Each structure stands twice: as structure tokens, then as C-alpha cells.
Chain A
């Protein structure tokens, strides 16, 4: 694959853009993005940020945005239902499906394409300001297609206890979807947002998502991201979060699906006393590749960040983690810790992990570390000494390794569902009902 053809590839993806908006600034934003797409190329393994992630299989296929929403049965949606949710927005192949959506949250949870006019000023102040696309071809593509997606505005001092469920369902082969989410948490507000990527089919499709979250002073957002795409899917996501004074952002991401997935998460601690916790689990096998790049940017003093990134890799799968923690000059009394822990279940499984700490302040507390390995001999022995077979012991410990992240999901029904998924995937003994093998 040469450079010329990769340029052409991005251009080919630009077909089928949305019609012009009545909002001049939005048209301008899209146009700027289209320009950038024209100037950028598909990243290759020669790019430092993509060294371990070869996305050339993507460019061998062509993808088009779906024209018109596919009709899907209520049962196809309800199987993913989160009973606790106060609001749900469903997108089918990237297109908003109002018939499957509801909002009982008592605040703005609506399709971005509609909400952008109703909340012009608020949206304009945030949209495209956090997920910058100057040098990011996928963020630029998403912005060029900016139309459907979620707009969530949590008003000042409003604490929404029940989660908002954003459900993205893939139904069509070779469909490209560009979901865009904007979460605006006003001062002192609180909310839980679940982004959930699922599929009703196993053919190749292309999801290119961008999520922006702006947390004002003292706001708190729990952000759960579940990527359970189809086996042949290509999933690219850019998430950018900005934290104002004493705001708190908690993210739990779980990546289970897709042939190739790439998740960029940038968190900017933009004002004093902001906190974030970023936990993630990638559980992959076969020929899957799951890549996570995070940047936690301590730009101001007294910020706190906690990160736990775990990968369980089986078969010939490959996990990539690049976790950058930046402590800028003046970001004194930063308290940051980062841990990358990886479990390889087969001889062909591979993980490339690169925790990075860049510190330009002198009064900080930072710790990071990475481990890559197999299950601990003493842990396996402990379980076997209680009668469990070797495989039951190993599978249970593998499950437990993943469950440490899953149990941090603050939505009980989703947590339970994912525990069962991880249990099935690790072939852990159905706890308590297992016969010795």
C-alpha cells in the first residue's frame, strides 16, 4: 500500500456527507474537517502513534454511510436494554432511531442533529473544541460527517442518578457510521453515561466515533464505554474530556469485539483540583487487535489521576496500550498513578504496552508500572488445593483478572451482564455449580 492510495482511501470515505445545516458555524466546522481529511493520510505503522497497529485491512474494503435507518424489531434493541436507564438514544448504523429511544431524565438527552439548533450557543461553545482533528484523520472524518449523535446537557446542580444509555447498533455490511456525542455537565451536576456499541451481524463495518465531554466546576461524570462490536468490525473512537475546577471524571471502558479497534482517550485536567479515574479492560482472542491510547494531561495544580489498564489476550490476538501521563510545568501537587497489567493466555498472544510519564513540575507524586505475564503459580495452586481442576482454577483466575475492572462499572445490570460475558469468554466455572473435571 502506497501513500497515494491511502490519500485516495480517505477521499473515498467522504462520499455521502450530510446535507448543509442552517447553522453557518456548523457548516464551517464540517468544511474545515473535510479540508483536513483531504490533507491527511490513513495512518500506517510508520507513524509513531500507529507503530503496532496495522490498519491496512480497513483500506482493502470500502464503506459507505447508511442511507436511511434500517428497521429493526424491538426485541433486537431490548436484548441490550439497561433497566436502570432514565434515557436511551438508539442509533442504527449511525442513524438516530427515535422509535427505539426514550427520555425520562427530565433534561436534554436528544439527537445531536436536532439539539444543535435548539442549544446553539451551548453546543457551539463546545463542539469540536475538545476532540481536535488537525492531525487526526479519524476525528476529522467524523467531524466531516457530523450529524446524528447524542447531546446531553446536565443543568447546574442537577444530579441525574439513573444512567443515560447510548446504544449504537450495527446491522449492515460495509456501512460506515460516524456517531458524535457531546456531554455538557454544568457546574455541580452529575450524570452517568453509557456508550454501548453492539452488532446484529458479523460482517465488516466501520464505526468511527467521537465523544466530547466538558465538565464544569464540581461536576461529576461516570462514563462507561462498552465496545462489543461484531467480529469483523473496524472500530475507531476518539474521546476528549475537559475537566474544570474540582470536577471528577470516572471512565470504565471494556473492549471485547471488533477485528481491529482503536480507542483514543484524552483527558485534560484544565483547572485545579480536578480528578479522573480511567479503568479499562480489553479481552480479545483469535486475530483481534485492540489498541488503546490515553493521554492524561495534568495542566494545572492539585490534580489527581488513577489509571488501571488491563488486557487479557488469547489466540493470536494483539493488544496495544500507550498511556501517556503529562504533568505540565506548574501542575504542582499532582497525584497520579498508572498501572498496566496484561495477561497472555497463549504463546502467540502479544501485548505492546508503553506507559509514559512526562513530568515538568517538581512537587508531584507519580507512580506507574506495567506487568506482562501468565497466571501466578501460587494463585493457581491455592485454588487447586481446594479441589478445583487445573483448567477451572486458571479460568477462574482469568475471569477474576478481568472482573476487577468490570466491577467498577456503576450500573448493576450492565455489570452483571458483562461479568457473565467475561465468565463465558474465559470459560470460568459457572461459580458454585461446577463438577470436577
Chain B
């Protein structure tokens, strides 16, 4: 939701990034204020997921130009773990499986790590168990998932719920959810979206990276951005998503080219 007294959480200016020497992001601009929900859409290969990973600090991507400020501080000079502790959260498109580590242990480790950074008390296993079970209700997750190895043998929907559970525990200021809707059936989509909606408040912000409009029926964005060739080429309100759903992405590209010719 757009608030009058909101503050700028994320300011991306002319961001360029490469992977294996190939430029993927080519002058990305984006401003996200507290309380807002942004959707970044675009065809495959437009750079959406790269943008998400660059914000979280994935080592495979090299920033070759531009600036990213998070709450006014240079985000790019922080290591991934420092970004997480500062309040940036990436919900993974493909969450990693960690056989041999119980989900409850992993969740508590992540939670306590971030709590300690924020000067708050860590929770012992019993306290954490009560706490995490409450959060799991939000996502209609069976408590059995606490005893299983992290993501191992989880279905696609279960993995995504586990991602949002981590978001609920870590309470980030900025959550970037990368294709959180992919691989979800309609019930799982409703549950995951419901969880995200309950976590959204006027002090945090959410960036949804998605290929389809479907998710946006459940999480209503304040802004919809269309990415193409590594930058945002069009921004609109939630109705833009519906137009994209109906007409595809090609017309956006054509419009951009036409505008470019006009401006020449």
C-alpha cells in the first residue's frame, strides 16, 4: 500500500551486472518505499531473477556499474549475510535441499543469527518450537516439516511455503520473492499469498518477481514494472498486469521502440 509518510527503502540507480562476462542488467532503475508492493514482470531472459540475486549478493553476478542504496546505505559493499542481517530477504525460486540438517535446527539458527544482530534475545529450542509453530499456522504447514531435513523431499509448494516461513521468522524490511508462484497449484498459491499478505505492513516492502499475472490476483501490487533486456521499460498500476496477461509482452517492447524513434 502507498503511504504518505513512507521512507525510501531501496534506491537502484543505473545498475549494470554481468554473469560470466555477459551483461544481463543494463541500467536498472527502481525505487521502493516502505509499505509498498512492487511486481517485476517480463519475459524469460529479461533479467528479473538476476536482479533479485544481485540484490541478495549472489557471488556469480558481478556489478559493473550503478548504485544500490538500502535505507540510504550502499548495499553493494555488504556481504550476502550482512544484507540478510540488515533486513534484505530473498525468497528463492529453487530453494536448496540440505539433507542431514533438520528444518527446525536450520530455522532456529537463521532466526537466532538475525536476532543477535538486532540486539534481541535468542530463543532456546523449546521457546523457538512454540514460536515457529505459531508462524507455521500462517502458512497452514504441518509441524512435521520441522523434523524433516531442510527442503529434502519437499514438494514445490512445500518448499515455497518454507521460504515464506523463513520470511515470517526473519521479518525483513525488504522481501524479494523470486518466482514464488512457480510450481504452485491454486490452493498452495492461495496459502502462500495469504501468508505474504499477512506479513506485509507499512514498515516493510515486497518485490514480487513473477512471469505470470496469476499471483497478483492474490497479492495486489501498488506498482507493476515490465523488464526487458536488463532494465525496466514500463511502469504502471495493477491494471498493467492484466493488460500483460491479455496481450503478452511483445507490445511493450514495440511501444518502447516506437517511443525511442519518436524521441529521436
CA of A387 to CA of B115 in the docked complex: distance in angstroms? 10
Question: How close is A82's CB to chain B, nearest CB, in angstroms?
Answer: 21
Decide if A80 is an interface residue (CB 8 Å cutoff).
Answer: no
CA of A386 to CA of B124 in the docked complex: distance in angstroms? 19
Question: How close is A425's CB to chain B, nearest CB, in angstroms?
Answer: 14
CA of A385 to CA of B57 in the docked complex: distance in angstroms? 8
Decide if A379 is an interface residue (CB 8 Å cutoff).
Answer: yes
Q: Are A385 and B56 within 8 A (Cβ)?
A: yes
Q: Hey, which chain B residues are within 8 Å of A390, CB to CB?
A: 79, 81
Q: Hey, which chain A residues are within 8 Å of B79, CB to CB?
A: 384, 390
Task: Take A378-B96, A403-B99, A407-B100 as given contacts and tell me if A386 and B166 are in contact as well, using a CB distance cutoff of 8 Å.
Answer: yes
Decide if B98 is an interface residue (CB 8 Å cutoff).
Answer: yes
Q: Hey, which chain A residues are within 8 Å of B110, CB to CB?
A: 386-388
Decide if B15 is an interface residue (CB 8 Å cutoff).
Answer: no
Residue of A nearest to B125 (CB): A432
CA of A404 to CA of B100 in the docked complex: distance in angstroms? 5
CA of A361 to CA of B60 in the docked complex: distance in angstroms? 46
The interface bits of chain A over 361-397 (1 if a CB of B lies within 8 angstroms of the residue's CB, else 0) are 0000000000000001111011111111110110011
Decide if A433 is an interface residue (CB 8 Å cutoff).
Answer: yes
Decide if A60 is an interface residue (CB 8 Å cutoff).
Answer: no
Decide if A206 is an interface residue (CB 8 Å cutoff).
Answer: no
The interface bits of chain A over 403-436 (1 if a CB of B lies within 8 angstroms of the residue's CB, else 0) are 1101100000000000000000000010111111
Q: Are B114 and A387 within 8 A (Cβ)?
A: yes
Question: How close is B77's CB to chain A, nearest CB, in angstroms?
Answer: 15
Residue of A nearest to B104 (CB): A432
Interface size on A, residues (CB 8 A): 33
Decide if B122 is an interface residue (CB 8 Å cutoff).
Answer: yes
The interface bits of chain B over 92-112 (1 if a CB of A lies within 8 angstroms of the residue's CB, else 0) are 100110111110111011101
Decide if A197 is an interface residue (CB 8 Å cutoff).
Answer: no
Decide if A402 is an interface residue (CB 8 Å cutoff).
Answer: yes
Q: Hey, which chain B residues are within 8 Å of A55, CB to CB?
A: none
Task: Choose one: B58, B90, B99; the contact of A400 (CB below 8 Å).
Answer: B99
Q: Hey, which chain B residues are within 8 Å of A406, CB to CB?
A: 100
Q: Of residues B81, B112, B117, B128, which shows the largest number of chain A Cβ atoms within 10 Å of its Cβ?
A: B81
Q: Hey, which chain B residues are within 8 Å of A432, CB to CB?
A: 104-105, 108-109, 112, 125, 128
Q: How large is the interface on B (under 10, 10 to 19, 20 to 34, 35 or more residues)?
A: 35 or more
Q: Are A401 and B90 within 8 A (Cβ)?
A: no
CA of A382 to CA of B81 in the docked complex: distance in angstroms? 10
Decide if B209 is an interface residue (CB 8 Å cutoff).
Answer: no
Decide if B80 is an interface residue (CB 8 Å cutoff).
Answer: yes
Question: How close is B246's CB to chain A, nearest CB, in angstroms?
Answer: 35
Question: How close is B117's CB to chain A, nearest CB, in angstroms?
Answer: 6
Q: Hey, which chain A residues are within 8 Å of B58, CB to CB?
A: 381
Question: How close is B243's CB to chain A, nearest CB, in angstroms?
Answer: 33
CA of A378 to CA of B151 in the docked complex: distance in angstroms? 14
Within 8 A of A (CB), among B95-146: 95-96, 98-102, 104-106, 108-110, 112-114, 116-117, 122, 124-125, 128
Decide if B170 is an interface residue (CB 8 Å cutoff).
Answer: yes
Q: Hey, which chain B residues are within 8 Å of A397, CB to CB?
A: 98
Decide if A399 is an interface residue (CB 8 Å cutoff).
Answer: yes
Question: How close is B148's CB to chain A, nearest CB, in angstroms?
Answer: 11
CA of A432 to CA of B56 in the docked complex: distance in angstroms? 23
Q: Hey, which chain B residues are within 8 Å of A402, CB to CB?
A: 100
CA of A397 to CA of B109 in the docked complex: distance in angstroms? 13
CA of A406 to CA of B102 in the docked complex: distance in angstroms? 13
Q: Hey, which chain B residues are within 8 Å of A433, CB to CB?
A: 112, 122, 124
Q: Are B101 and A386 within 8 A (Cβ)?
A: no
Within 8 A of B (CB), among A168-211: none
Extra pairs beyond A377-B59, A387-B110, A399-B100 (6, CB < 8 Å) = A386-B113, A389-B81, A396-B109, A399-B101, A400-B98, A403-B101
User: What are 12 sample pairs from A and B whose C-beta atoms fall under 8 A apart?
Assistant: A381-B56, A381-B58, A381-B59, A382-B92, A384-B57, A385-B56, A385-B89, A386-B113, A404-B100, A406-B100, A407-B100, A435-B116
